[in-house]
Structure formats: structure tokens, C-alpha cells
């Protein structure tokens, strides 16, 4: 048998174009000894060396180190010759360990940064029987034999020669397959220009077909297998792995298995396992060398299992306490107390041998399988005996055989066996019933939880419906208020910009800023006030007066604006609609924009300051005249009303008109009348109520007036106004503004009362 082993490891490299193109470090090992080493070998040369020397094993620490992707892996596998296995040292694809940790089992040390050292370690471990073979093909392999190139010459002699070469190579391959006893199906057919092709369909995996891909004599043999969806790994060592097993017997049996490194590889519990089934489960895991329990006295069921495997027994000095069990299994995952007890027993048994394993490792020669040494130590063998058995397998003690799973008891134990069988059946029945009860309990619990949740949801829905509706209403109101405030904020920003612009215009040299009012009405005034504000001393430029009212004038008067300017046509229309008088009564200056020529842009404008001040001064002069005329008109109206009332009394009470005379007011208390000017604006005042007389002053004797003869009384025409009595002359030092109109009214009423008293006395 070929014992040549190749160990390879990649060395990163690049082509001239900068593309990654790794090289390989190659180590040859034969009979567990290093034969040669080569470095920086390209892949093409490596494949030629493998095809030439045909090693039994091509070992690599990790498949990913040999190729970057799956396509490269299949390329290497297709080029491997028959009988060469690709072996991965680090694990089986599921449980992966570093190469350094696996090397420690064989007491090997190497530099992890040196590819040559790692290739050497992989080759040695594979030669010792470690590692896992990579299987990538199904149980069907295709062999194709055809000419190396197209038949450029169509001469019959050449075509016949190539056909005979294909047939000859096909007969050689057929002989090899028949010698191996493999089943196959052969097909031969003609191809381009008279050539031929032979195809073999072999019912065997790629690694078992004694043919490899090659090219020789103008004929190509191509071997291709049906690839698996996922590569599989098979251990090179045919022996089962050594394990330490902890068992917790009882109605529910717990099983825990550790490898000799102390790693947990199996943990389970079941209610329906009898001893034979427990033995079967443990056999599928590995080969137990130590059976452990957490009781000081080993239970009979555990003892029977131990004898079945001929394994060593381990029991503690005293029963393990529960708190100690939790300390032992800290860091492991378990489902119940039975798994905990079994795991704690296995861990405690491993720890009892850990120190001895460490001391033996230092004395173990390199290349020795540490698992075999540890198994021998547990069985009670010395290190020398174990090493001698490894070097001379013929002289090594035989491995203990496992007793068949069907245990045979003595006649004395027949009754016990029948009882145990009955107990087993009852346990199965109880287990099935308990499982059914658990299922129903879970269903009941789930339904109860669902019922509680539905009730809570219904109550919550009932309780929160009103609250939700109120919150929704409140939320909608808040949203409306928010939108309103946002709009208001936006309008305020626009107004602020306009006001800033207005202020900047106000600060200009020789110009006065205006605020433009498009229409003299309440809504435009309010809109302008909201946008820019209407304050004291503001000047408004009113474009239109359609629909004006006295309330608008009052609002502007309350705002104490500075003045109102009207365009020429609008000013003329205002004169015809008595709007000028309303503004004069309110004390608001109203100016004609014809001479001012204001300049307007949007809602802001400017007017020349000098022209505005001149127009305002002229208005103030006319306003003084207007006020004086208005006061004089009020006084004349009161006097006329007095005369009408007196004549009415004369007619109604039958007083002789000849006896009616006018009384001149005494000189000491004259009532000065304002200087009468031309009356342009007159409104008929309402009839004043008679107020209580003023406090009496010291009366002086009044001389009796002489009667004045008058013509027969005749009714006055409706439109004729009596001539008022001329007012006494005003003293030269008195001013018109010192006596208001109310003083004049009180004087007239006093005179009227005095005359009425005299008439009544008569």
C-alpha cells in the first residue's frame, strides 16, 4: 500500500498584472517521516507532481487554504489521480478546530506563521490517521474517451488509425473496471469526420474508479463525477472516538457524553429508554472508556451498561450535592435535572483525570495519538505499555468488545426481567399519557391566556373609546389651532417685512412713508391693521371711498392717525358725499393728493415731506375756521329754538301779544356771543332738556321795561327765521375762546325762566 502523503499550504502571490495567484508549499511524508520539502510551487506544477508520484493522501490544514472558491476546489479534485484522497485536518465541516489544537493531540508544535511548518504538520497528522476525507461526488461517474483534436485530414487511413486508438483505450479502461468489479454502461458513437467517442457510465463514486483524466497518444480520457450539492467529510480513522459518558438512571434517563478534551458532544434525556436502548444510543456517539455517575454507590442499571462496554467506572467519594452540580455544569446548556445530573457526573469524572493527562502529555513522544494514550491511562495502563502497543500493534492488548445490545440475564433474573419489561411498558404508557396531558395543559393555558387577553382588550376598548374620541377631538382642535397659528405666523412674518421696509422708508431723507388703504371700509382697515398696523401719526393713502361709513371714520379717529390723503378724483367725490365734513368733525386731516403726488408701491408709498407739511399746515388753518363756524351755528340754532318755543307758549296760553316784550339782560352779567361769521355748515341741534337753574346770585333791582307796541300777532312763516337779538358789545379785553358755547346756552335759558315767571305773576 502506498504510504506517501503530501502536505500543502498556500503562499500568497500575485501575477505581473497584479492578480492574485498563490503558490504552494509542499512536504512529502513517507512512513511517518519527512522525505522532502519544496517551496513556491505553482498550481500547474503541483498537479503534475501529484499525477506523477500519485500520493495516497493530499493533506491540507483547511480546504479554504488550498483554494479560494468551490470552482477551484473541483478543478483540483478533477485533476487528482485515482487513489489520492484530499484530506482536511481541521475538522469535518461542522465541528472545526484550529490546526494547532489538533496538533497538540499528537504532541506536535509548529510555527503558525510559517506555511512550510503548517504543511509539514498537516502531512504528519494525516500520516498518523487524523483528518477527514473530502467527498464531493455522487455514486455515478462518467468516463469519456475521444480524439485530442479535430480530424483535419479525412484520409481513410488516418480516420481508421484514430478510431482504433479510441477503441484500444476503451478496451483498457473496460478491463480495469471489470477487474474492480464495478458495474458500468458503455456507449460508442461516431463524431465529426468519421471519428469515434466512447462513454462509460460507472455506478461508483469518483474516488473508487481506477481511471484518472489524462492525455496521451492523441487520445483524451476525461473522468467526471456527478457533484454533490454540498461536500461531505469522512474520518480517515475507522475507529470510533473515545468518550466519557455520564448517566442518570431512573424513570427519565439522562445521558451526557464528553470527548477526551472535555468538550460536550451529546446531551439528552428520555422517559422510554431501557438499558438496551441506552447502549445503542451511546454506541452511535462513540466508544466509551469511562462510565460515570453522581452517586457514591453505582446503580445497578449503570453497572449493566458499563459491563456492556467493558468501560471503567467512576463514582464520587460521596453523593454530589445539588449546589456542587450547578457549579460543575456552569457554562453548559441543559433542559432538566436529569441532564444536569448526567452532565455533572461526566464533567466531574473528566476533571479527576485532567491533571494526569497533562503530566502524560509532557512525556509522550511526538506523533503519538493522545486519545489512544488517554484511553489507555483510563483503563489503567502505563505510558510505556501504551506506546509499545502503538509501535507494535500485534503485541498490543486487544480492545474490549462491546456486548450485543440484547442483554442475556441469568435464570435468577428472569422474574426481574419480566418485571422490568412490564415497568418499561408502563413507563411508555405513562410517558404517552403525560405527554398528552402536557399537550392539553398547554392548550388550556394558551386558551386561558387568550381569554384573558381578549377580556382585557375588550375592557380597554370600552374604557378608552370615550377617551380616544375626546383625545381625537382635542387633537383635531389642536391641529386646527396649529394650522391657524402657522398661517398667522406666516402673515406676521410678511407684515414684519413690510413694517421693516416701511420703517426704512420712514427714515429716508426728505420723504415721509405712507400706508396704502385700497378702500375706506371696515374690512380693508382691519386687514391693513393686521398686516402692518395702524397707529398714531400714521399717514393713510386711500384709493377708493365707495361704501364708507361713519364707523370707519370713528375707528380711524380712535387710532389717532396723522392724516388721510386722497387722489384727485377721489377727493372730489368725497366733497360731494360730505366725507370731508366727517373727517373734519373727527379731527382727522384730509388732504388732496393732487399737489402732493405720492408714489405708491404695493401697500407702502412715500410723499415729499416739505409738501406734506405745507398741506397739513393749510388744513389746520381751515380747520380753525370750520370749528368756529360750527360753534356759532350751534348757538344760533339754540336761540332760534328758544324764540319758537316762546311764541308757542304765547299762543297756547292766550297771553296778549301786546304784553310780550323782550327783556334786556342786565349789564353786569352779559353773555358774550362769538363773532358771527358767514355760516357755511349748520345742523339743527336737538331740543335741549331743561337743566336745573344755576345757583342764584345776588339779584339787583331791574328797572321795569317800557312796553313796546307791536302789530297784531301773525303766524310766522315756516321757513322764516326770527331775527336774533343783537348781542351786547364785548369788552375789549375779553377773547372769544374764553367763553365756551355752554355758557351762552345757560345765559339764554336763565333769561327765558325769568320772563316766564313774570308772565305767570301777571
Q: pLDDT at residue 228 above 80?
A: no
Lowest-pLDDT choice from 230-234, 346-350, 544-548, 648-652: 648-652
Q: pLDDT at residue 672 above 60?
A: no
Question: Where is 269: in which H helix or E strand?
Answer: strand 264-270
Q: Which CATH architecture has domain 1-130?
A: 2-Layer Sandwich (3.30)
Q: Provide the pLDDT for residue 123.
A: 87
Q: In the beta sheet, which residues pair with residue 606?
A: 513, 599
What does each C-alpha distance from 689 to 181, 642, 745 come to in angstroms? Answer: 147, 12, 11
Alpha carbons 215 and 227: distance in angstroms, whole number: 23
Banded pLDDT at 169 (limits 50, 70, 90): confident
For residues 690 and 326, which has the higher predicted lDDT (pLDDT)?
Answer: 326
Alpha carbons 7 and 631: distance in angstroms, whole number: 130
Q: pLDDT at residue 290 above 90?
A: yes
Annotate 394-416 with b (16+ C-beta within 10 A) or e (fewer). eebeeeeebeeeebeeeeeeeee
What does each C-alpha distance from 174 to 183, 185, 478, 482 come to in angstroms? Answer: 10, 10, 92, 92
For residues 720 and 101, which has the higher predicted lDDT (pLDDT)?
Answer: 101
Q: Provide the pLDDT for residue 357.
A: 87
At 188, phi and psi to the nearest 5? -125, 135
The domain limits of the chain are 1-130, 138-227, 242-408, 413-501, 508-602, 648-673+682-761
| 490 close to 565: Cβ distance less than 8 angstroms | no
Q: pLDDT at residue 387 above 60?
A: yes
pLDDT digits (tens, 9 = 90+) for 698-723: 444 444 444 433 344 434 344 334 44
416 contacts: CB under 8 Å, gap ≥ 6:
409
Max mean pLDDT among 167-171, 228-232, 452-456 falls in 452-456
pLDDT digits (tens, 9 = 90+) for 181-221: 888 888 887 665 555 788 888 888 777 888 887 787 778 88
Cα 399 from chain centroid? 64
* Whether the domain at 1-130 and the domain at 242-408 fall into the same CATH topology: yes
Instruction: Domain 242-408: state its class.
Output: alpha beta
Q: Any idea which fold 138-227 has?
A: Alpha-Beta Plaits (3.30.70)
Alpha carbons 710 and 468: distance in angstroms, whole number: 95
Q: Which candidate, 176, 171, 159, 175, places its Cα nearest to that of 218?
A: 159
Lowest-pLDDT choice from 158-172, 518-532, 645-659: 645-659
The average pLDDT across 261-289 equals: 87
Angle at 493 (CA atoms; ends 492, 497), nearest 5 degrees: 115
Q: Which candidate, 619, 565, 620, 623, places its Cα nearest to that of 594?
A: 565
Cα 306 from chain centroid? 59
Banded pLDDT at 77 (limits 50, 70, 90): confident
For residues 218 and 570, which has the higher predicted lDDT (pLDDT)?
Answer: 570
Max mean pLDDT among 392-396, 479-483, 520-524, 533-537 falls in 479-483
For residue 718, the 8-state DSSP code is: S
Percent of the chain residues past pLDDT 90, beyond the cut: 7
Lowest-pLDDT choice from 164-178, 221-235, 333-347, 372-386: 221-235
Alpha carbons 762 and 755: distance in angstroms, whole number: 11
pLDDT digits (tens, 9 = 90+) for 1-13: 467 888 888 887 7
Q: pLDDT at residue 459 above 70?
A: yes
Lowest-pLDDT choice from 52-66, 403-417, 568-582: 403-417
Does the model's pTM come out above 0.75? no
pLDDT digits (tens, 9 = 90+) for 269-278: 888 777 888 8
Query: DSSP per residue over 460-517, as a string?
Result: HHHHHHHHHHHHHHHHHHHHHHHHHHHHHHHHHHHHHHHHHHHHHHHTSTTEEEEEEE
Q: Provide the pLDDT for residue 267.
A: 92
The average pLDDT across 34-41 equals: 87
Amino acid at each position: 500500500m502506498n504510504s506517501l502523503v503530501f502536505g500543502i499550504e498556500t503562499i500568497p502571490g500575485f501575477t505581473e498584472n497584479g492578480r492574485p495567484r498563490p503558490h504552494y508549499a509542499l512536504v512529502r511524508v513517507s512512513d511517518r517521516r519527512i522525505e522532502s520539502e519544496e517551496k513556491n510551487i505553482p498550481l500547474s506544477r503541483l498537479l503534475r507532481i501529484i499525477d506523477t508520484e500519485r500520493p495516497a493522501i493530499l493533506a491540507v490544514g483547511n480546504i479554504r487554504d488550498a483554494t479560494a472558491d468551490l470552482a477551484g476546489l473541483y478543478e483540483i479534485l478533477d485533476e487528482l489521480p485515482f487513489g489520492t484522497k484530499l484530506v482536511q485536518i481541521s475538522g469535518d465541516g461542522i465541528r472545526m478546530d484550529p490546526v494547532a489544537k489538533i496538533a497538540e493531540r499528537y504532541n506536535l508544535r509548529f510555527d503558525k506563521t510559517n506555511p512550510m511548518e503548517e504543511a509539514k504538520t498537516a502531512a504528519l497528522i494525516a500520516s498518523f490517521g487524523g483528518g477527514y476525507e473530502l467527498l464531493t461526488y455522487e455514486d455515478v461517474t462518467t468516463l469519456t474517451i475521444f480524439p485530442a483534436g479535430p480530424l483535419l485530414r479525412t484520409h481513410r487511413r488516418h480516420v481508421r488509425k484514430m478510431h482504433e486508438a479510441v477503441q484500444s483505450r476503451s478496451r483498457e479502461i473496460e478491463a480495469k473496471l471489470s477487474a474492480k468489479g464495478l458495474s458500468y454502461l458503455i456507449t460508442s458513437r461516431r463524431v465529426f469526420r468519421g471519428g469515434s467517442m466512447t462513454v462509460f457510465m460507472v455506478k461508483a463514486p469518483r474516488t473508487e474508479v481506477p481511471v484518472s483524466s489524462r492525455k496521451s497518444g492523441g487520445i483524451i480520457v476525461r473522468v467526471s463525477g456527478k457533484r454533490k450539492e454540498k461536500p461531505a467529510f469522512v474520518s480517515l480513522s475507522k475507529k470510533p472516538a473515545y468518550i466519557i459518558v455520564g448517566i442518570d438512571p431512573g424513570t427519565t434517563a439522562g445521558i451526557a457524553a464528553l470527548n477526551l478534551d472535555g468538550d460536550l458532544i451529546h446531551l439528552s434525556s428520555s422517559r422510554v429508554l431501557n438499558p438496551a436502548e441506552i447502549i445503542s444510543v451511546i454506541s452511535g456517539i462513540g466508544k466509551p472508556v469511562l462510565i460515570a455517575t453522581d452517586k457514591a454507590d453505582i446503580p445497578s442499571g449503570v453497572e449493566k451498561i458499563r459491563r456492556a462496554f467493558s468501560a471503567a467506572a467512576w463514582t464520587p467519594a460521596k453523593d454530589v450535592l445539588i449546589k456542587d452540580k450547578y457549579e460543575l455544569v456552569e457554562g453548559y446548556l441543559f433542559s432538566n435535572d436529569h441532564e444536569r445530573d448526567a452532565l455533572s457526573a461526566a464533567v466531574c469524572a473528566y476533571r479527576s483525570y485532567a491533571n494526569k493527562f497533562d503530566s502524560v502529555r509532557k512525556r509522550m513522544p511526538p506523533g503519538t495519538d493522545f486519545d489512544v494514550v488517554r484511553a489507555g491511562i483510563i483503563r489503567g495502563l502505563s505510558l510505556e505499555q501504551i506506546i509499545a502497543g502503538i509501535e507494535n500493534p500485534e503485541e498490543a492488548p486487544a480492545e474490549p468488545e462491546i456486548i450485543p445490545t440484547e442483554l442475556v440475564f441469568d435464570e435468577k433474573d428472569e422474574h426481574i426481567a419480566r418485571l422490568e419489561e412490564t415497568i418499561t411498558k408502563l413507563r411508555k404508557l405513562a410517558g404517552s399519557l403525560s405527554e398528552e396531558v402536557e399537550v392539553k395543559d398547554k392548550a388550556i393555558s394558551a386558551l386561558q391566556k387568550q381569554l384573558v387577553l381578549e377580556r382585557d382588550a375588550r375592557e380597554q376598548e370600552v374604557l378608552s373609546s370615550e377617551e380616544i374620541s375626546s383625545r381625537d377631538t382635542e387633537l383635531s382642535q389642536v391641529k386646527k389651532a396649529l394650522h391657524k397659528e402657522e398661517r398667522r405666523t406666516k402673515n406676521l412674518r410678511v407684515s414684519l417685512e413690510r413694517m421693516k421696509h416701511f420703517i426704512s422708508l420712514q427714515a429716508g431723507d426728505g420723504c415721509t412713508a405712507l400706508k396704502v388703504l385700497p378702500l375706506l371700509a371696515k374690512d380693508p382697515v382691519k386687514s391693513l391693521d393686521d398686516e402692518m398696523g395702524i397707529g398714531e401719526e400714521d399717514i393713510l393713502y386711500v384709493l377708493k371711498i365707495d361704501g364708507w361709513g361713519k364707523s370707519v371714520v370713528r375707528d380711524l379717529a380712535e387710532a389717532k392717525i396723522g392724516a388721510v390723503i386722497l387722489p384727485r378724483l377721489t377727493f372730489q367725490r368725497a366733497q360731494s358725499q360730505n366725507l370731508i365734513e366727517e373727517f373734519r368733525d373727527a379731527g382727522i386731516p384730509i388732504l388732496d393728493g393732487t399737489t402732493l403726488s405720492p408714489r405708491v408701491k404695493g401697500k407702502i408709498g412715500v410723499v415729499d415731506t416739505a409738501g406734506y407739511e405745507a398741506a397739513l399746515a393749510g388744513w389746520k388753518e381751515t380747520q380753525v375756521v370750520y370749528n368756529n363756524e360750527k360753534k356759532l351755528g350751534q348757538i344760533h340754532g339754540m336761540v332760534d329754538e328758544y324764540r319758537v318755543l316762546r311764541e308757542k307758549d304765547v299762543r297756547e296760553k292766550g297771553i296778549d301779544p301786546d304784553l310780550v316784550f323782550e327783556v334786556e339782560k342786565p349789564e353786569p352779567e352779559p353773555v358774550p356771543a362769538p363773532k358771527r361769521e358767514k355760516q357755511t355748515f349748520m345742523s339743527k341741534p336737538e331740543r335741549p332738556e331743561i337743566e336745573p337753574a344755576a345757583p342764584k346770585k345776588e339779584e339787583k333791582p331791574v328797572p321795569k321795561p317800557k312796553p313796546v307796541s307791536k302789530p297784531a300777532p301773525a303766524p310766522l312763516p315756516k321757513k322764516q327765521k326770527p331775527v336774533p337779538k343783537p348781542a351786547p358789545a364785548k369788552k375789549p379785553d375779553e377773547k372769544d375762546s374764553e367763553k365756551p358755547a355752554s355758557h351762552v346756552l345757560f345765559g339764554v335759558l336763565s333769561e327765558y325762566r325769568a320772563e316766564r315767571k313774570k308772565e305767570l305773576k301777571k
